[in-house]
A and B are shown apart, each in its own frame.
Chain A
Amino acid sequence: MRRAGVPLLVGLVVVAAGIVLAVLRVNPYLYFAGCVILQYVVMATAWNILGGYAGYVNFGTPAFFAMGAYTAVFLIQSVRAPLPVLILAGGLVAALLGLGIGYLTLRLRGVFFSIATLALAVVLQTVIMNWEYVGGSRGMSVLRPSGPPFGSYVTFLFTVMVGLAVIAVLVARFIERSWIGRGLAALRDNEEAAECMGVPTLRLKLFATTVSGFLLGVAGAPFPYYVTFVEPNSAFALDYAVNALAMPMIGGTTSWVGPVIGAVLLGTAQQLATVTISSEMNLFIVGVVLVAFVVLAPEGILGLVRRLRGR
């Protein structure tokens, strides 16, 4: 009981710290940059549930993210739904998508699964581009609701993102430490062997694609209110796929902490690169760091720490 309570408590403390930060109304830029970094924490964590724990590399991250964003746009357009509804609905739609993709691509493994997810992103982007109601290829401006808490909408979004990040991390941690995580690890190491040992690989894979999809959708749902303008090219940006994959790889894919470390480090570096050196450096940084880690520390920062401690 005590063991389960500690992370929950820490989570609550982090959320409280986020709210305090919002009330303090420090430099607003912190909230903008923080929002993006926290969004990456959610995305990296979500990606890692499927990619890290189960070993199924998903290149279709933008598809799930954009599903969340476009579900939100749809609901804002049609009923002006409040943010919690948007987040929940975005998550559910993306979870359904994840479940569907899980079913359709069950027989695909390794690189073929990855290609299928990439194709999914392309197909969905084409659908959205031709759907006039949510802006089609021209995109759509979204008006933020007036009178947000903490005086500014982005400050409010920041606290929401803190909450979402905490939830995502707690979910990932729970999965990792439960029998599900052990099952997924078995599946990652050798799917046939796991199957023979009685691990319900089918159900576990479906579970992982659904939960991962849900969290990616959740990350995307606040996006329309953050940018106030949604268009397919930026919602389906390849950057999301690269970042969601690079962050856990850099942090370490075997533990829930890995994606968090990766997202915070890489996200911060990218935010700073955009406004200091040159934004061309953005993906360049990711690329170089990723290559360096794949070559020098394939188990990410966590693996590196572990290795250093082991000596």
Chain B
Amino acid sequence: MKQPWRQPIRSWVLIGAVIGNFVGIFVLAGAGAFVARAADPIKIGFGMALTGGLSANGKPALLAMQIWKDDVNKKGGLLGRSVELVYYDDQTNPATVPGIYTKLLDVDKVDLITSGYGTNLIAPLMAIAMERKLTIMGMFGLANNEKYQYPNYFQIQPAGPDPQTSTAIGFFELAAKQNPRPQTVAIVGADAEYPQNALVGARDLIKKFGFKTVYDKTYPPTTVDYTPIVRAIKATNADIVFVASYPPDSVGMLRAAQEVGLQPKIFGGGMVGLQFTSVMTSMGPMLNGIVNYDFWAPEPTMLAFPGVKEFLKEYQLRAEKAGVDPLGYYLPPYSYALVQVLGQAVEATKSLDQQKLADYIRATEFSTIVGKVKFGKNGEWAKGRTLMVQYQKVQGTGIDQFRGPGKKVVLYPEELKSGNIIYPYSAAKN
């Protein structure tokens, strides 16, 4: 039988052709960059989770940045040049990040970069930024810079210099102030990155405030049925129940608590997900009484920051069309603030020089739509500002009730307080 393929020489020719094809495609891809340079706008590049696990937050974050871009361009751009966002979908997969950012820097020739959303997507960017001495703005990363101590990294989530205790501190401070003072604590969390960190912080604070731990356990992130966990907690009769969880388990814990009738004196703490519009509208009155961390709430104290009302109006208008989180109260104001900081730094230094920008950002207090922002140790906010909010008087599952104040009352910190805690937890349920 004739087997031409067995003749080695022809196979090498084919391989050569394939390799040639591959090189050719890259040359073409590279050539695109030269065409794009003609218009000469200031380009800001980033990868963003538009698909995958974090896309529910990645898309609103992108929308907020686009609103900023439009706002800036309306005012004539930066340094007299218009601003353009160049972004790719990182698929919530850290392995795509190195490729995306090299493409941004070397092919698209972006002038500035920001990170994508979330700790895991910021982590692979650190090495690239350090190698090229870039200034990076991080979006909601937890302690990304602990290991690197890279001076040109700045992070917009208001966790503060001690991210481990930032979630829990308001919760336990509030608990300690209540009358009658709660005595016993149950802490529980998922066996995953953020919950573990939050639990470590919680344990420190329990010691500091002199509470007594009666339950301290973790559960695997794949847990589906939370009833046994909640029953075990109920059996301890703890006054305080602190939960550190990711969105699916936050919902699961809350439903189980409702079912089992768990009624501690104060309940919540570090539950990720309750801040999201989709979760709020699906949980409805089940949220009443929960005291949980948050970064933003439509309360008068938060709406006082200049520009935020206009931003939210524009965001909510566009969100409907874009089909993303319709309220945008968790991440969008901060992702807008992130590019605001970068833009203000460019304007003030009149430069795109990475080092100059970093020096300026490090030294300056910025005025943004989320308030005054000053960066400190490791590029985190110099002073943490994680809020503690309590869900109050939530009725039904309508979305409109969450647009205005009164449903998510800010209890902590003192300077942003917008109402009083309903204590104990059971009182808020009725």
- Contacts from A to B (Cβ < 8 Å): 6-7, 10, 27-33, 36-37, 129-130, 136-139, 141, 143-144, 152-154, 223, 226-229, 231, 233-234, 237, 255, 257, 260-261, 264-265, 268, 271-272, 274-276, 278-280, 282, 302, 305-306, 309-310
Q: A275–B131 contact, CB under 8 A?
A: no
Q: B11–A282 contact, CB under 8 A?
A: no
Residues of B within 8 A of A138 (CB): 192-194, 196
Q: List 11 A-B contacts (CB under 8 A).
A: A6-B8, A29-B106, A138-B193, A229-B97, A233-B93, A255-B11, A274-B99, A275-B103, A279-B88, A280-B91, A306-B3
Q: Which 9 A-B pairs have the closest CB atoms?
A: A138-B193, A229-B123, A228-B127, A279-B89, A229-B124, A32-B102, A29-B102, A29-B106, A234-B95
Interface residue B304 (Cβ < 8 Å from any Cβ of A): no
Q: B99–A32 contact, CB under 8 A?
A: yes
Q: B22–A268 contact, CB under 8 A?
A: yes
Q: B192–A137 contact, CB under 8 A?
A: yes
| Bound Cα distance A276, B107 (Å) | 12
Question: Main SS of the interface on chain B?
Answer: helix
Q: A265–B103 contact, CB under 8 A?
A: no
Q: B2–A260 contact, CB under 8 A?
A: no
Q: How many residues of B contact A (CB 8 A)?
A: 51
Q: A139–B26 contact, CB under 8 A?
A: no
Q: A305–B14 contact, CB under 8 A?
A: yes
Q: A271–B18 contact, CB under 8 A?
A: no
Interface residue B19 (Cβ < 8 Å from any Cβ of A): yes
Q: A227–B98 contact, CB under 8 A?
A: yes
| Bound Cα distance A274, B93 (Å) | 12
Instruction: With a 10 A CB-CB cut-off, give which of B4, B12, B95, B96 has the most chain A CB atoms.
Output: B95
Question: Main SS of the interface on chain A?
Answer: helix
Q: Which of B22, B25, B30 contacts A27 (CB 8 A)?
A: B30
| Bound Cα distance A280, B91 (Å) | 8
Q: Which residue of A lies closest to B29 (CB)?
A: A272
| Bound Cα distance A265, B88 (Å) | 21
| Bound Cα distance A73, B272 (Å) | 29
Residues of A within 8 A of B196 (CB): 138
Could you tell me which residues of chain B, from 26 to 55, have a CB within 8 Å of some CB in chain A?
26, 29-30, 50-51
Interface residue B219 (Cβ < 8 Å from any Cβ of A): no
A219 CB, min distance to chain B CBs, angstroms? 13
Interface residue B191 (Cβ < 8 Å from any Cβ of A): yes
Q: A228–B98 contact, CB under 8 A?
A: yes
| Bound Cα distance A217, B98 (Å) | 21
Q: A275–B88 contact, CB under 8 A?
A: yes
Interface residue B90 (Cβ < 8 Å from any Cβ of A): yes
Interface residue B307 (Cβ < 8 Å from any Cβ of A): no
B115 CB, min distance to chain A CBs, angstroms? 12
Q: Which of A32, A33, A137, A265 contacts B18 (CB 8 A)?
A: A265
Interface residue B207 (Cβ < 8 Å from any Cβ of A): no
| Bound Cα distance A154, B127 (Å) | 11
Q: A264–B18 contact, CB under 8 A?
A: yes
| Bound Cα distance A108, B338 (Å) | 55
Q: B18–A279 contact, CB under 8 A?
A: no
Q: B51–A279 contact, CB under 8 A?
A: yes
Q: A279–B98 contact, CB under 8 A?
A: no
Instruction: With a 10 A CB-CB cut-off, give which of A6, A29, A143, A265 has the most chain B CB atoms.
Output: A29
Residues of B within 8 A of A306 (CB): 3-5
Q: A141–B25 contact, CB under 8 A?
A: no
Residues of A within 8 A of B147 (CB): 141, 143
| Bound Cα distance A96, B165 (Å) | 43
Q: Which residue of A lies closest to B86 (CB)?
A: A275
| Bound Cα distance A276, B86 (Å) | 11
B123 CB, min distance to chain A CBs, angstroms? 4
Q: Which residue of A lies closest to B221 (CB)?
A: A137
Q: B26–A33 contact, CB under 8 A?
A: yes
Interface residue B148 (Cβ < 8 Å from any Cβ of A): yes
| Bound Cα distance A36, B93 (Å) | 14
Q: Which residue of B lies closest to A251 (CB)?
A: B18
Q: B19–A264 contact, CB under 8 A?
A: yes
Q: A229–B94 contact, CB under 8 A?
A: yes
Residues of A within 8 A of B139 (CB): none
Residues of A within 8 A of B22 (CB): 37, 264, 268
Residues of A within 8 A of B18 (CB): 260-261, 264-265
Given contacts A139-B94, A143-B148, A260-B18, 20 further A-B pairs with CB under 8 A are A31-B102, A32-B99, A32-B102, A130-B191, A136-B191, A138-B196, A139-B193, A141-B123, A141-B126, A143-B127, A143-B147, A154-B98, A226-B98, A234-B94, A234-B95, A237-B93, A255-B5, A264-B18, A275-B103, A306-B3
Interface residue B15 (Cβ < 8 Å from any Cβ of A): yes
| Bound Cα distance A274, B47 (Å) | 11
Residues of A within 8 A of B15 (CB): 257, 260-261
| Bound Cα distance A275, B100 (Å) | 7
Q: B102–A28 contact, CB under 8 A?
A: yes
Interface residue B120 (Cβ < 8 Å from any Cβ of A): yes
| Bound Cα distance A281, B93 (Å) | 14
Q: A234–B93 contact, CB under 8 A?
A: yes
A224 CB, min distance to chain B CBs, angstroms? 10
Q: B94–A27 contact, CB under 8 A?
A: no
Residues of A within 8 A of B193 (CB): 136-139
Residues of B within 8 A of A276 (CB): 29
**A-contact 0/1 string along B175-199, CB 8 Å cutoff:** 0000000000000000111101000
Residues of B within 8 A of A141 (CB): 123, 126, 144, 147-148
A13 CB, min distance to chain B CBs, angstroms? 10
Residues of B within 8 A of A154 (CB): 98, 102
| Bound Cα distance A10, B95 (Å) | 31
Q: B106–A279 contact, CB under 8 A?
A: no
Q: A32–B98 contact, CB under 8 A?
A: yes
A46 CB, min distance to chain B CBs, angstroms? 18
Q: Which residue of B lies closest to A228 (CB)?
A: B127
